Every structure is written in C-alpha cells, then in structure tokens.
C-alpha cells in the first residue's frame, strides 16, 4: 500500500460539457467526489493523501470561475469539518494561502487548527500551489539562513533542502493519480515526485469513484520500483 498518494483531480469542465452543463456544475460534482475519495482513502488506511485543489496558474482562469472554486472550497471546509474530526483526519494546506479571499483563508486556518492534533490520516490540500514557487521559496529561505550564519554552503544537501518545502515532515508521494488523461504534471510537487509512480486514467474526475481508485492501487501494486538500481539488486534486498 502506498504511504502517500497525490491526486490531480482533473476534468471537471469536460465532464460538465458532456452533460451539457456549465463548468460550475462540474466543479460541484468534483467537490462532492473529493469528499467521497477522502473517506475511502481513510477506510483504506492511506496515511497521507494530497489533493491538488487549485494551482498557481488557476488564478488566471476567468474571475467568475475562480470565485466559484473559492466558494466551493469554503463550503467544503464548513460542511466537512465535523466529518474530518470524527474520522480523526488532520487537514493541512500547502501553497500561498495569503492569496485566498479572507473568508476562505479563515475557514481554512480554523479547520487546520481544529484538526491539528488528529493523526489517523493527513489530508493535504494543495491550494494556490505551484511546485516552482515552492522550490523558489525554499531557496530564498536557505539564502537568508546562510546570510544569518545558520548554515554554510556545504550544508545544503537534499535532506536540508527538503526541510524547507511544505512537505518537510511528509514522505514523498509513492503514487500520483491524474484523471482525465492529460500526460503532464502541471507544476505539481516537482521536487517530491522524483520517484513517484504515475497513474493516468481517461476517467474524468467526477466519475473517478471507489472502483477506479482500487484500479489505480492495483496497478501500483504491480509496478516494479527500482529507484535507479537493477531489478537483481531490488530482488536481493
């Protein structure tokens, strides 16, 4: 079983178009599906689930769509908070949450505070997130640390660098699931995905149900991860 699953829940817009509905309808269905997949991951005892909810680049969508996505996020937090607590799920957010509308940010911070002590699963929402900006901000912090004399050039190792990322205390994702068929990572967890297994399905996010999730896990189970070594080395270890 993967210890950390990351999901790019793509295809809400295309799903809505197929139903001859507007994009908002797709985002509503997509949000409802996030609720169910989170609960399923909890039932399966997945320790960490990261969901890409909103990218740095998504800010450039039409402002009405951005507003709808922000409202859906706020509603999700208000509706799911008790459920997260009951299920002992700790909510985290990674990204530039300072850019979020005040009410969304406040609900987010409150939900994080209310669930900070819970330890049966970590639900990590990437919101206003970009892999490049995460890496840049790590570099800025490290540069300040050097100026202050906290560490020297030669102390900058992969381990130290990882400490300055949002995921500083989380394992790297074992499995990335992307729905709706796009073969790209769209600025998601660029550092952390060095050895992540990638599973892409044509199924659109609102249709990605528990059965589809199990299919992804089954494919993962049959992958041979080598981390640069030979299969013989892996078999021997």
Residues taking part in catalysis? 10, 58
Q: Shortest approach of Mg ion to residue 107 CB, angstroms?
A: 25
The only residue of 69, 70, 73, 77 in contact with ligand IPE, by rule CB under 6 A: 69
Q: Are 70 and 78 in contact (CB under 8 A)?
A: no
The yes or no reply on residue 173 touching ligand IPE (CB under 6 A) is: no
Q: Are 176 and 196 in contact (CB under 8 A)?
A: yes
The yes or no reply on residue 10 touching Mg ion (CB under 5 A) is: yes
Q: Shortest approach of ligand IPE to residue 133 CB, angstroms?
A: 14
Q: Shortest approach of ligand IPE to residue 199 CB, angstroms?
A: 15
Which is it for the CA torsion 119, 122, 127, 132, positive or negative? positive
Tokens 């509308």 identify what position?
A: 101
Burial of 207 from C-beta contacts in 10 A (0-12 / 13-18 / 19+)? middle
State the residue number with the nearest CB to Mg ion.
Answer: 10
The only residue of 4, 6, 10, 173 in contact with ligand IPE, by rule CB under 6 A: 10
Report DSSP state, residue 97: G
The yes or no reply on residue 221 touching ligand IPE (CB under 6 A) is: no
Report DSSP state, residue 172: P
State the residue number with the nearest CB to ligand IPE.
Answer: 13
Smallest CA-to-CA distance from 99 within 75, 136, 73 is with: 73
CB contact burial 130-154 (16+ within 10 A = b; e otherwise):
bbeebeeebeeebeebeeeeeeeee
The yes or no reply on residue 208 touching ligand IPE (CB under 6 A) is: no
The yes or no reply on residue 55 touching ligand IPE (CB under 6 A) is: yes
Contact residues toward Mg ion (CB under 5 A) are 10
Contact residues toward ligand IPE (CB under 6 A) are 8-14, 30, 52-55, 58, 69, 180, 182, 184, 186
């Amino acid at each position: 079983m993967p210890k950390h699953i990351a999901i790019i829940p793509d295809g809400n817009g295309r799903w809505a178009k197929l139903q001859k509905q507007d994009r908002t309808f797709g985002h509503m269905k997509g949000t409802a599906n996030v609720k169910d997949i989170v609960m399923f991951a909890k039932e399966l005892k997945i320790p960490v689930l990261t969901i890409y909810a909103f990218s740095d680049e998504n800010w450039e969508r039409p402002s009405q769509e951005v507003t709808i996505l922000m409202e859906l996020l706020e509603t999700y937090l208000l509706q799911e908070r008790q459920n997260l607590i009951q299920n002992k799920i700790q909510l985290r957010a990674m990204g530039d949450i300072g850019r979020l509308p005040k009410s969304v940010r406040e609900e987010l911070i409150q939900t994080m505070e209310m669930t900070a002590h819970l330890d049966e699963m970590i639900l990590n929402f990437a919101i206003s997130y970009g892999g490049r900006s995460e890496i840049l901000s790590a570099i800025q912090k490290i540069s300040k640390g050097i100026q202050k004399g906290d560490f020297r050039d030669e102390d900058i190792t992969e381990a130290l660098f990882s400490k300055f990322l949002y995921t500083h205390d989380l394992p790297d994702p074992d499995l990335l699931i992307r729905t709706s068929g796009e073969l790209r990572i769209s600025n998601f967890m660029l550092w952390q995905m060095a050895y992540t297994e990638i599973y892409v399905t044509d199924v659109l996010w609102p249709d990605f149900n528990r059965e589809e999730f199990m299919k992804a896990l089954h494919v993962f189970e049959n992958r041979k991860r080598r981390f640069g070594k030979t299969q013989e080395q892996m078999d021997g270890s």
